[in-house]
Each structure stands twice: as structure tokens, then as C-alpha cells.
Structure 1
Amino acid sequence: MPNIFSTFPLLKQAAPRLSREFFTCQARVGTLPIPPPSPRAFRSVGQTQFLQAFKKRSLHGSQKTRQSPTALGAAPPSALNRSIGGATEKALSKKSFFPETSDKSVAYWLFASAASVFGIVVFGGLTRLTESGLSITEWRPVTGSLPPTNDADWDREFTKYRSSPEFKQINPHMDLSEFKKIYWMEWTHRLWGRVVGVTFLLPTIYFIARRKVSAPMALATSGICLGIGFQGFIGWWMVKSGLKDDLFAPGSHPRVSQYRLTAHLGAAFVVYTSMLYAGLSILRTHRLKADPAQGLELLKKLSDPRLRAFRVSVAALAVLVFTTAMSGALVAGLDAGLIYNEFPYMGLGLTPPKKELFDPWYSHTPDRSDLWWRNMLENPSLVQLDHRILATTTFSAIMGLWAYSRFSPRVSTLLPAQAKKGMLGVVHLVLLQVTLGISTLIYMVPTWLASPHQAGSLALLTGVMLLGSRVWVPRRTLRMLKEMQHVQRVANRGPLYRGVTAEQKRAFFTARL
């Protein structure tokens, strides 16, 4: 019989190689075969970095009688680490431009921005209470940043103010020195708004370019930037309503429109709460990821159906506090706090007479189809009554929710300790806010009480949002923790991953999900 190797010379040359690679038992390596992270990243399966790592480890196992123990124990783990690390970085970089979790520095910047917005809201209330908002009669977003620097500039600004309805009807005897006081109040308020915009827009661009924010957070911060710009436009739109006689009722006190004032304050509240909750979400995600097992257990506990009513109630409470604050803006815009300065009565009873609450004088249509809603938004008596009802409802809802969290057995046992502390903090804030509101009404809206009362409304909303950040379940973070748990289970299957960092293991398997 002829020699088969003389007939097939190529097979003769390949035989030693085939015997080593194809007929060597791979089970003794003690590993599980892992698919490549991205098949499109390589030309063929034989060129994958993972298969090359397996070959190196297999060769080391077959040649262990000819190699020293030092070389045998050092080479395979380092090669595998480099393979997994390089492959996972490529897979993740192709998957998304943004990281999974925003950096903690972004949260601290959001808190600082929220504090700045809180301050400008309080200062804006002082500007309104001192009747300084109509002192600047033009809107110059860029050149208006510079104040008057000489007597000619001051005379020019004062001349513009003297042509306004407020000067003609209220301040006809005002001199230049008095004008400067209200001018500096309004100028500082506007400059502060520009600073808020710049100090938020530029860091937003930086954090996105440096890949320090996740994709949802990049979208949120970009939306906040638009909200800040829109807020500046609403501010001028509000001021404009008090500069022309045809924009307010004939013979009435020159003031800005209560509708536009409410929109201006409401936009500021939305911007503030967006910054605050975004920062709280980032820190909460980092805290939960620090111990994924414990974090997942906490979120599963909060997801319990028995806590659903409490979670929904906190969200409804945030809406109620916001609505009550907006009704307070209507009270401020109409100076409705200067009537019925007693509590709980309004005149001879708990409410004024029905004829006064629904006065036909406020209707603008012949059929009086707008009688109800115009009185609710334009009649000072009914506007104050609405604010009292909303404030009382908010106080009762908070106290009821606190009692529910404390005395309900199923809620009290499931609710985390931090959530209970947050609920108690909301109770303290609402007690302070009610005290300030009643005092402001009784003392006929003095500035030293009215300004803290406005700040208290935003502080109360802050407390409710903080409580919500402790009881609401972030779905994205929950999904992330479940993936981390799955990765941990897979990574602990065999000795293949010994020496590989947890971040590399998690990144690789997350890319494969």
C-alpha cells in the first residue's frame, strides 16, 4: 500500500499542527468559550483576540513540561486581561458616545446652579415687592449688561422711565436718586439671570464634549438651557405688560399682568426643580451602584405594590405644591393679599358673599360665559380664597401622607428610613410655610414677611422633590443594576476571569446583552 504522506505532501506537513490543535482536549483548560464582543469588528473568527488568547493558553498547557512554572503562571492571565479590556472598550465606544452614568461633578454643578436659581427667585420677589421691575423700560440682552456710567446715561434712563405709566400715575415726584435705587434692583435681577444662563450653557457644552454625562442627562441639561433662555423672554414679556396703558385695565394700578407674572414664576420653578432632581438622580445612581446587590434589593423593595399608593401620592403632592405656589403668584400680581387681612375668616364668614366672588363686572362677554374663570383669575377676593383653599388642602395632604407613612403597618415596615426622614422634613417645611403665609396676610404683606413666604414655597417644593427622589423607582438605574447582577453571575462561573477587573467584566458582558 503506498504511503499516504508521499501522495499528499501538504497533509504530511500539516499533520503535526493538526495533532496539536485539533486533537488536544480543550476541556482541561477549565474555561467556558466566550463569543467575540462584535463579530463585525474582525474579518473572521480565527482572527479574534479571544481565540488567540485561548490558543496561547492551550499551548502553555501542552508545553508545561518544557516551560518553567513562572512563565506558565504569568502569561495567560495578562494576555486575557488585555484581550477583554481592549475588546470591551471597542464594543462600548461603538455602542454609544455617552457613558452609562454621569459624573458626580455634574451633580454638584447642578446643585450650584439650582441654588443660584433659588436665589434669583427670592431676589425677583424683592424686586416686585419694592416696585422696581418697571424701572428699566427696554430689553437689551447683551448691551443691557452694562449699567449707566455717567450723568448723561442716568438722565437718559430716567427720561425713559418718566414716560412710563408707573411714573405718571404713582411716582410723579420721584427724583433721580430715588430712581437709581429701583434701577439697581432691576438691573441686578436681570444681570443675575444672564449669569445663570452663561454658567449653565458653557458647562453643559463642556460636560457633553468630555463625555461626562449620560445620554438622558445630556438631553435633560440641553432642555434646561432652552428653558433658561425661554425664561428670559418671559421676563421681558411680563415687564412689557406694565409699560403700556392698553395692556392693563383702564384706571387700574399700573402693574404687570398677573398671567405673565405667574408664567414667569412657574418657568423659574420648573427650571429649578429640573436642576435639583437631575443632580439628585446622579448621586442616587452612584450610591446604588456602589453596592449593586444592596441597591437592587432597595429598589425592589420600593417597587412593592403596597408602596404604590405612597409613591403616587408623593408625585401628586409635588403637583399640588406647585399649583398652590402659582395661585400665590396670582395673589401677588393682583395685590390680593391687601384685602381680608384676617384668618381663617374673610369678613363676616369663612368666605366673602357669593355676589362678590362672582362679580359680573369681570365678565367680558355679553352672555357671561367667562364669568367663572375670569373671576377665579382676576377677582382679588376669589383669587385669595382660591389660594387659601389650595394652601389648606396642601397642608392637610402633607399631614395625612405623614400619618399614612407612620401608622400604616404595611407602609411603615416597607418604607426606608431615609424616606421617613424626608417625609418628616416636608412636615416641618409646611408648618413653617403656613406660619409665614398667615403672618404675611395678617400684617398686610410686609416685605420682610412676604419674601420669606415666597422662598418657603420653593423650599417646600424642594422637600417634596427630595422625598420623591428617595421613594420613586428610577427604571434606568434598576435595569442597570439587574445587568450588573447578571454580569456578576456569569463572571463567577470559572477561573477564566481570574485577575480581570470588575469593570472590564461588566463592560464586556453589558456590550453582549
Structure 2
Amino acid sequence: MTDWINFPAATAGAGRAAVAPDRAGVARWLWFVAALVFAMVVVGGATRLTESGLSITEWKPVTGVIPPLSHADWLEAFEKYKQIPQYKELFPDMDLARFQTIFLWEWSHRLLGRLIGVVFALGFLYYWARGALEGLKAQLAAVFTLGALQGAVGWWMVASGLVHRVEVAQERLAIHLLLASLTLIALIWIAGGLRAPLRDERASTTAKVFGVLLLLATLKQIFLGALVAGLRAGLTYNTWPLMDGRFVPPVEHLFKNDPWWMNFFDNITTVQFDHRMAAYALLALALLNAMFARQTGVSRRGWAIVAMVLCQVGLGIATLIYSVPLSVALAHQALAMIVLGMTVGNLRAEFPARPA
């Protein structure tokens, strides 16, 4: 599973020591949890794109695992949805069958969150009992805290769309996705550190700097993408590379709101422009990283990142030009997580593996 991230590519032809069996098991467990987080982000994207996120108007961490089972239960859940502004203003003609579809998207998203918590907790207890978590307990506790916080932020996000709005607040959506991204980063970082150590692991300061910048640029782009999604900014300026005939929109359009800094969060023009510019910057940084990596003999992972960023740019342009089709937009979000994982792996490879 780690091949696409290329952790071992720090030194060509280097030999490796063995990894203790329990440590290898810990790594496999963490990779599985990371895969579940990736799946949750994808399902979360589908939930957003199908307007399903507000279909469950209550937060029941335990009993909410069971969906409505009878016709009466479905009618009760539907009646609760009918009380919120989204139904009244956007979907007053929705029938029960359509409600069941959006409900199951949101329920699946929440169920995955619960499953991640259970898999993580059981794995933690099992490997702790086997004494395989030496030096990892604090890091894994931090990951668990991130996951718990993610659940709370998810409800905080949903709550923003239940009273005065017809959708969730875009800044809360962005924070929700950012926390999921940080959780994925932490899992990949820890799991990647459990690889078999190379006998000659040399780290370049410049490579580390490039790696950090690339990771931060990817995180920033994911955050901006969430703002674009929350504002439905992809439904405007559906041309590329120009926005309404201009590469840079007029300043009065970019900063029409007061105070000026709020334009970076709630101005559709500014948010979409920032997302475009950040994409160009990320691609340029990926190219610089790959060219530097070529000089150090580890260019494969650098050019793999460039290829994925180019694909991501292409998907972003297609999402925009075709006014956010479900399949393309969902692929765009999924590939963003893959690019994020690759940038984490690129940076992690510059640091020594954790001893078995």
C-alpha cells in the first residue's frame, strides 16, 4: 500500500533491516485506518454534492448508528427535516423516496466515522496489550483526539445549516475537511515511520524544506477547495483560464465586502480566484521539488507528485467548465487526498524510520 507514496526511495539500492512482526502489524492497522479516513472524505464529498448533509437534524453518537427501520420511523425523520430552512426554501417538493436517498448518504458518512473510531480503539488496545506501541502512545492519543474533535466539528458544521441558512457555513466545512486532512497526515506519518529502516538514510535540508512547503501548499489548496464547495463558487465563472474575460478580476470585485479580509472567506469571486492561483503555485512548487529531487537521485516520487497535481488541475478545470458534475467533482476531491498522501510520503521519506 505504501508503494505509491514511495517511502523507501530515500537512497537507491540501499539495504534494509527487518521490521519486528508486531511493528509491521501496527503499520498495517494504521494504513487500514488511513484508508477508512480516505473513504470517509470521499463519502463526505458525495454527501455534500448530493445536498445530503442536513438530512439528519440530530446528533446521536450511539443510537444514531441505527437508521429508520419502519415506515413510521422514516416519516418521523422526514418531518424533522421539513422543519429546517433547506427543505422549506430549496426542496419543498421533495418526496419520501428522495429524502431516504439523501438520509442514507449522511447516515453512511456518520457510520464510517463511528467505524473509524472503533477500528482505531480496538487496534490501539490490542497492540498496547502486546507491548507494540512503545514510543507511539502519545502520537496515537493525539490522532484519537483529532478524530474525536473531527466528530464534534462535523456536528458544529451541520448545526450551522439548521436554523438560519439553507446550507452549512463554508468556513466550518473547510475546517471539517482540514481536520480530516490532518488526521490522514498523522496516520500516514506514523505508519510511514514504521517501515524497515534503510542502512544509509541521508536527509537533505533543502529536500525537507521543499517537502514542508509542498505539504503546506496542498493543505492550503484543500482548505480553499472546501470554501469553493461551501459557497458553490464552482457554479460561477465557468471558463478557464479567464474569469469573465479577465485573468485577474477587478479589484472592486475581489474586495467588495467589508471588512476586506472577509472576502477571502465569503466572496465567491475572491475564493475562486484564490483557488485557481493556489493551484498554479502548487504545480510550480511540485515541479521545483521534482527538479531538485532529480539532482539527489530520488526523482521518481517527485515526478509522481507532479503527474498527480497535473491530473488534479485537469479535474478542477473540468469540474469548473462543466458546472460541477457529481462524478468529476467527486474524483477531484478524492485525488486531492491522494496528492496529500503523496506529499506526506515525500516529506516522511526524508526522516529516519522509527526503530523496530
With normalisation by structure 2, the TM-score equals 0.91
Q: In structure 1, what is the Cα distance between the partners aligned to 2:319 and 2:231?
A: 15
Give the counterpart of 2:161 among 239, 242, 255: 242
Deviation sequence 1:410-451 (CA, Å, 0-9, x none)? xx2xx35xx322112111111111111111111111111100
Give the counterpart of 1:469 among 302, 325, 348: 348
| 2:197 match | 287
Q: Does 1:389 align with 2:277?
A: yes
Give the counterpart of 1:113 among 14, 25, 33: 33
| 1:333 match | 230
| Contact in 1 for aligned 2:161/2:167 (Cα 8 Å) | yes
| 1:163 match | 83
| 1:425 match | 304
Q: In structure 1, what is the Cα distance between the partners aligned to 2:326 and 2:162?
A: 24
Give the counterpart of 1:376 among 264, 268, 271: 264
Q: Which structure 2 residue ranges, 5 or more long, are not aligned? A: 1-19
| 1:127 match | 47
Q: In structure 2, what is the Cα distance between the partners aligned to 1:205 and 1:151?
A: 40
Task: Report the Cα offset of residue 473 of structure 1.
Answer: 4.1
Q: Does 1:448 align with 2:327?
A: yes
Q: In structure 1, what is the Cα distance between the partners aligned to 2:31 and 2:338?
A: 14
Give the counterpart of 1:268 among 159, 163, 180: 180
Task: Report the Cα offset of residue 101 of structure 1.
Answer: 10
Task: Report the Cα offset of residue 470 of structure 1.
Answer: 1.9
Task: Report the Cα offset of residue 404 of structure 1.
Answer: 2.6
Query: Taking structure 1 as reference, are residues 449 and 323 closer, same or farther at Cα in structure 2, changes over 3 Å only?
Result: same
Give the counterpart of 1:230 among 149, 153, 158: 149
Q: In structure 2, what is the Cα distance between the partners aligned to 1:273 and 1:311?
A: 16
| 1:312 match | 209
Task: Report the Cα offset of residue 209 of structure 1.
Answer: 2.2
Q: Secondary structure at the match of 2:228?
A: helix
Q: In structure 1, what is the Cα distance between the partners aligned to 2:48 and 2:41?
A: 11
Q: In structure 2, what is the Cα distance between the partners aligned to 1:435 and 1:352?
A: 22
Q: Secondary structure at the match of 1:184?
A: helix
| 1:221 match | 140
Identity %: 38
With normalisation by structure 1, the TM-score equals 0.64
Task: Report the Cα offset of residue 471 of structure 1.
Answer: 2.1
Q: In structure 2, what is the Cα distance between the partners aligned to 1:287 and 1:310?
A: 19
Number of equivalenced pairs: 337
| 1:342 match | 239
Q: Aligned letter for 1:127? A: T
| Contact in 2 for aligned 1:136/1:186 (Cα 8 Å) | yes
Q: Aligned letter for 2:185? A: T
Q: Which structure 1 residue ranges, 5 or more long, are not aligned? A: 1-99, 249-253, 289-294, 364-369, 407-411, 481-513
Q: In structure 2, what is the Cα distance between the partners aligned to 1:168 and 1:158?
A: 12
| Contact in 2 for aligned 1:204/1:222 (Cα 8 Å) | no
Q: Aligned letter for 2:188? A: L
Deviation sequence 1:199-231 (CA, Å, 0-9, x none)? 10121122112201222x111111111111111
| 2:15 match | none
Q: In structure 2, what is the Cα distance between the partners aligned to 1:344 and 1:102?
A: 51
| Contact in 1 for aligned 2:193/2:352 (Cα 8 Å) | no
What value does the CA root-mean-square deviation take over the aligned residues?
A: 1.6
